[in-house]
Structure 1
Amino acid sequence: MLKALEGISKDERVGFKAPGIMGALGLLVLYFFGIAGREGEASFELSRKQDLVQIPALPIESATLGLISGILMLLIAGFALYRSAQNQPTPLWISTSFGFIGVVALLGWLAAGNTVPVVFIAGTALVLAVPIMLGAMAGVMSERSGITNIAIEGQLLTGAFMAAVVTSLTDSFTLGILSAMFTAALMSMVLAVFAIKFLAQQIIVGVVLNVLVIGITNFLYQQWLTEDGENVNFPGTLDIVKIPLLSDIPVLGPVFFENRITVFVALLIVPALWFVLFKTRLGLRARAVGEHPLAADTVGINVSRTRFWWVTIGGAIAGFGGAALTVGNAGAFGREMSGGFGFIALAVVILGRWHPISAALAALLFGFSIILRVWANQVSPGIPTDFITMVPYIVTIIAVVGFVGQSRPPKSLAIPYVKG
């Protein structure tokens, strides 16, 4: 009976937008990166000097790489077109492979005559994506249960502030991270109470919470942290942990298994949330509450309690993402240092179709864009950095229109439920 609550129709036409956009992007890559590409050889470095296993660099002409990439992307677009003609959706691995090939072509185009430090770019992109990824997990948890969480930005900022201050005062990373999660969870409780008990407009409550947190942290930063930064805003960063044997795997080892604990935990949270959400009765109840709360109530599910705890626990995860900004990366709190990551996390939730794995992959796109802007300015100073900065956002808009247009949010998202 509970499975019927999901109410997902299997008779919907898949449509041809996704293969159409894939084909257009493939043609653009083929022409601009291949036919009209830049002269010079791009060398892809797959190993660092300190790595135990050394892999020779892979040199290839930038224009040749663009041609090959464009042709492969057009072939994938053709396969997606075939599946659409059979009324079958484009699998996630197909879309991911398509995007990966496009990224390789972009890197080769930028690095014409230079080297591409693959491990450095991939590892840094992962670190920078962690706050967005965890904010997106909070968004997935909230919205799957029917509550719109616009306050992710404030939850990240709260977590970043508390982690930096508490760690500095107690000299304990554990207490700093726990305090970040606790305070962000309290903030989520406020959102949940107003949305569930008082039936307030959820978007307005989220915006107010964001503005409130920004104002409070800016005031404390100006009046307290800048005056006594050495004692209250100098937590440092967590040590980098190397997992034996796994960290020695070429390319993947340094990226995934030689990192700070915040990255490891984030990589565990994503599949764990997927498992709970789609493979357990607890997750099925949460999805039922987000889809058909009346039907869920009829079969004995406490709608209010379910929504309250999913929003609250999601806030704690976002708080951990905020801690990853300070003790997991920057080493100190900065004014409004979340920098819109919470709003990007909301876009990631939609781009990922309210699915933890897809949302995590989308978050990596933005982490990649941040490091790409810095790296591209070094290897190709003649290319405007504003152009590089726009790339992931343009891709996101295209993806939302072409790939996410057929998906839908939970049916009861942002709709208050009144029992009886």
Structure 2
Amino acid sequence: MVFSKKWKQAACVPLAMAVLAGCGADPKGTGDPGGAPGAGSGDKPPEPFTMTIYAAGVKPEEFDSRFRGTLEKKFPHITFDYQTSDKGNSITEKVARGEVPDIIRTDTPTMKSGYLDLQLGYDLRELVAKHKYDLNRFVPAFIQDNINTGQTGGLYGLPVPPYFPSVLYYNKDLFDKFGVPYPRDGMSWDEVYDLAVKMSRTDGGKVYRGFSSSLIALLRDNPYSLPILDPEKDGLADQTKWKSIFDNFKRFHQIPNNAVESTFALENAVFTKGQSAMYLGQHSIYFVVPPEVNWDIVSVPALTGAPKLMGQRTPAYWSITQQSKHKDEAFQVIMEMLSDEVQMQDSRNGIPTTLVNKEIREALGKSHPIYSKKNMKALTLYEPTDPTPKRGKDKANVSGSLQESIIWQSFVKTAQGQADVNTVLREADERLKQELEKEKNK
């Protein structure tokens, strides 16, 4: 990946970053000041204790395969109690019972409701300084997004893989069947549209779509870093830019036999069923394409007038709770889970790294039985987009999931020909204002 001037300048990011880490500190991110982790001072061995780690939606098997062995070897005096959000164990329910974990996996959409509003927030800056931990190891946008989300200037987590970069999947067998050249890296959306026209066909009684998409990846993870709800005023953000996004993608669904499906699940399933030639989605180890579909990927196409950047859903974050009695040890555990060694193994297994380390990036998928045969360099052709601007702390807000639902419903409505783009955007603007009024009146 070629890093731009902007990324190089971000090596010492201003604002809160300036007080978080000095350039050149601890390049591998080990944070090890010399002694064994958790050993404390003197010759006395560390006291054994149990550390609780909570990650909603992440199965124990994943934690065990990625982290447990490394942690138990590095910290033999710590028993790791891993917990997830099975029935009756949402973070809200656990906090209500007084069962507060030491480490919690947070993310941008739920950091406020599932961490800060529960009075769990702990600013990591003091521990970053104590351990001389180098934040410049990470993609700058991921660190800045966490700072922006917290809205206090503090750092409330360190970015843990995976993140989910946008890519264009394509069905090689369908392109071969109809004698059309495969998509390639670096294409524009205009070029992809031309391919979609050629590949939208009916053959042997079967309908093949030229293009399908994960609509939220297409809309929310846009190359403008354009938010849905305006950060400063009530209503939809920059409608001119939203119109350009809607206009670009609406045309794909005006191609004969290429109508958009009415639900996320149906739209996403078109490609995995072998019924679509191309699919705009996200690279994710959780997205499984059946073996009977002969697929590959190319870089996300560039949108005319927008920066040539890769839209992506930002990663989750390892955060420490204010209530933890083992904050220093928890930070050392997080450093180990985010070490070069662990992230290299993640990368080789197809999990995109949150680091800027070129060697780790280029190892993506090398050990994976499927990804090792795919065009994984498509994920690094463009840099990730900048953080999406956040709503002011003093302003009423609407949950991220509801914002996504509103913009998705608006797009589906115009893509299905029920209303023109200007009308659905005005309706989205009005609905967001209505939801904000509800929040203000609570």
**For the superposition of Structure 1 and Structure 2, which TM-score range results when normalised by the shorter chain?**
under 0.3
Q: TM-score, normalised by structure 2?
A: 0.25
Of Structure 1 and Structure 2, the greater strand share is in: 2
Q: TM-score, normalised by structure 1?
A: 0.26
Of Structure 1 and Structure 2, the greater helix share is in: 1
